[in-house]
């Protein structure tokens, strides 16, 4: 999330990054230090910017996770606020929805729902074959994310957009590490 935020602006201050991520100044300073030590970030008096390496990492992340966005869902909602991530290149047969939910909760979210788009309909594996049949509202909201056949969608909830975003991104990272 930090890399995405830094990429959005030409230069981002520590204060701006902290506000966006919901982190205190000490945590932001530590995060920036780690990103700088990893050669993903360039720091200067005018703010922080991605290095060439950092831009390449974000480019690769965006191809695998092109969309992370707040979504207005009802039936599949797991919190007051919900954020969806569209994930490409993951084998849907190897999905472990309970593990994904647990990752989101450990990150401070209130839960997560994992869905799959087969090119025609959005399903919640082992729960709903076609989300549109049980919640047209949710199916329409997710369809606006520009889904492609084979996409996995992770919808994470939280008490705030920041909490839901962090939970969603953490759960998605878990998809690639499991």
Extract the runs of DSSP E, i.e. beta strands, from 22-106. 41-44, 47-50, 67-70, 81-87
**Alpha carbon of 10 to those of 2, 5, 15, 46, 68: distances in Å?**
14, 10, 15, 10, 20
Which residues make beta-bridge pairs with 29?
A: none
pLDDT digits (tens, 9 = 90+) for 106-145: 989 999 999 999 999 999 998 999 999 999 999 999 999 9
- Give the pLDDT band (50/70/90) at residue 9: low
Q: Contact 75/135 with Cβ under 8 angstroms?
A: yes
Cα 11 off chain centre by: 22
Predicted local distance difference test score (pLDDT) of residue 170: 85
Predicted local distance difference test score (pLDDT) of residue 118: 96
Predicted local distance difference test score (pLDDT) of residue 20: 78
Domain ranges of the chain: 2-62, 65-177
Q: Which CATH number, 3.50.20.10, 1.10.10.10, 2.40.50.140, 3.40.50.12160, labels domain 2-62?
A: 1.10.10.10
Query: Would you state the CATH architecture of domain 65-177?
Result: 2-Layer Sandwich (3.30)
- For the record, the structure tokens of 156 come out as 């994470």
- Give the pLDDT band (50/70/90) at residue 177: low
d(CA 95, CA 93): 6
Q: How many CB atoms lie within 10 A of CB 19?
A: 13
Predicted local distance difference test score (pLDDT) of residue 156: 98
| Whole-number percent of the chain with pLDDT over 70 | 97
Cα 134 off chain centre by: 25
């Amino acid at each position: 999330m930090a890399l995405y935020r830094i990429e959005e602006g030409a230069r981002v201050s520590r204060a701006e990054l902290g506000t966006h991520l919901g982190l205190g100044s000490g945590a932001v300073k530590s995060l920036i230090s780690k990103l700088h030590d990893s050669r993903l970030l360039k720091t200067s008096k005018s703010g922080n910017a991605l290095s060439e390496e950092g831009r390449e990492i974000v480019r690769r992340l965006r191809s695998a996770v092109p969309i992370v966005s707040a979504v207005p869902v009802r039936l599949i909602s797991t919190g007051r606020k919900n954020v969806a991530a569209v994930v490409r290149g993951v084998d849907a047969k190897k999905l472990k929805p309970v593990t994904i939910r647990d990752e989101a909760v450990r990150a401070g979210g209130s839960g997560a729902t994992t869905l799959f788009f087969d090119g025609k309909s959005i399903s919640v594996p082992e729960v709903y074959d076609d989300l549109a049949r049980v919640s047209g509202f949710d199916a329409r909201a997710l369809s606006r994310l520009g889904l492609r056949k084979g996409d996995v969608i992770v919808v994470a909830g939280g008490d705030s957009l920041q909490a839901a975003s962090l939970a969603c991104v953490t759960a998605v990272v878990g998809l690639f590490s499991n």
